[in-house]
Amino acid sequence: MVEVKNLCKKFVTPMGIVTALHNVSFTVAEGEVFGIMGASGAGKSTLVRCLNYLERPTSGEVYIDGQNLAELNSRQLALTRQQIGMIFQHFNLLKLRTVAQNIAFPLEIAGTPKKEIQQRVNELLDMVGLTDKAQSYPHQLSGGQKQRVGIARALACRPRLLLSDESTSALDPETTQSILALLKEINLSLGVTIILITHELAVIRQICDRVAVLENGQLVETGSVADVFNRPHAAATQRLITTSGLVSAARPKPVAVRPALATGEVI
Ligand SMILES: Nc1ncnc2c1ncn2[C@@H]1O[C@H](COP(=O)(O)OP(=O)(O)OP(=O)(O)O)[C@@H](O)[C@H]1O
Ligand SMILES: [Mg+2]
């Protein structure tokens, strides 16, 4: 469903040209949870921003369901973006809007009728276990609850692809587990494809099917999580695994997933 071909991104800065991505190519199949890992500055956020053209690639192509994003006009691009949800490390919630209003925001932009918005927001609140927080403001929520709002908002327009840029990196380990369980449940029950970017290797090992490794803007390794973690080829992958402390080759217990999505507690 996602195909990236020879993607390059250069930034022109007063200090000179920064090559953030160099000839990156990979594909993500429908329904996959695909991880992208790499050290700080490797180009992970730049890559994820190129996937929905928040950042225009300098060269190379991004195809979503076979459609080259470069060929879309701005209206078509806006429609395609509605099919791509995104969640962030620092949640990016609107401070002056309640939880319900934050979740409603993309639906308002999409021109959804008011009554439908209300119904959809209620469904989403239930899905992420925050029905009782509908009228709260972001500053009244814990980090995990804020990320649940971010997830609900990202899913509002029923996207088929969810991009996650370090969505658990600001959370404690227990809250991380509950958010990972929610993401996995969304993947399994709604069939949403997830591209998950993180510097936390444990996160990748827990919920990803396949993983790509970025180093200095180049994709140095791609494979199944089991292969990459058990038999890393690239020196960069070996370094990441060593420094993360994940020395055991065995795959850890997968995150617990409850049959119902409606849980605000730690699983
Ligand atoms: N808007 C920009 N202008 C200039 N350089 C940029 C810009 N955005 C990113 N870069 C540079 O591109 C490189 C990759 O940055 P990026 O934010 O993609 O890394 P990252 O892997 O997400 O790092 P982190 O793990 O710290 O979030 C870095 O050298 C960064 O300084
Ligand atoms: Mg980043």
Mean of the per-residue pLDDT values of the chain = 91
Residue 205 within any structural domain of the chain: yes
Residue 261 within any structural domain of the chain: no
> Measured in angstroms, how far is the CA atom of residue 41 from the centroid of ligand 2?
7
CATH number for 219:
3.40.50.300
Distances (CA, A) of 250 to 38, 102, 208: 21, 40, 15
Nearest atom in ligand 1 to the alpha carbon of residue 38 is 21
CB of 74 shorter than 6 A to ligand 1: no
| Cβ neighbours around 267 below 10 Å, total | 15
pLDDT at residue 9 tops 80: yes
Whether this prediction's pTM lies above 0.85 is answered by yes
Q: What is the pLDDT of residue 80?
A: 93
Q: What is the pLDDT of residues 137-173, one digit of tens each?
A: 999 999 999 999 999 999 999 999 999 999 999 999 9
Residue 222 within any structural domain of the chain: yes
Q: Which phi-psi region, left, alpha or beta, contains residue 65 (left: φ > 0; alpha: ψ -120 to 50)?
A: left
Residue 211 within any structural domain of the chain: yes
Q: What is the pLDDT of residues 87-110, one digit of tens each?
A: 999 999 999 999 999 999 999 999
> Measured in angstroms, how far is the CA atom of residue 126 from the centroid of ligand 2?
30
Burial class, 82, CB count within 10 angstroms (exposed 0-12 / middle 13-18 / buried 19+): middle
Q: What is the pLDDT of residues 217-260, one digit of tens each?
A: 999 999 999 999 999 999 999 999 988 877 544 455 566 665 44
- Extract long-range pairs of 254-257: CB within 8 Å, 24+ residues apart: 254/184, 254/206, 254/207, 255/177, 255/180, 255/181, 255/184, 255/206, 255/207, 256/177, 256/181, 257/181, 257/184, 257/185, 257/188
Task: Quote the tokens at residue 191.
Answer: 């069939």
Q: What is the pLDDT of residue 244?
A: 83
In the chain, the number of structural domains is 1
| Beta-ladder partners of 84 | 161
pLDDT band at 111 (very low <50, low <70, confident <90, very high): very high
Mean of the pLDDT values across residues 45-74?
95
Burial class, 74, CB count within 10 angstroms (exposed 0-12 / middle 13-18 / buried 19+): exposed
Residue 225 within any structural domain of the chain: yes
Q: What is the pLDDT of residue 267?
A: 30
Residue 143 within any structural domain of the chain: no
pLDDT at residue 265 tops 90: no
Distance CA 42, CA 32 (A): 23
Residue 196's domain comprises 2-83+159-244
Q: What is the pLDDT of residue 250?
A: 46
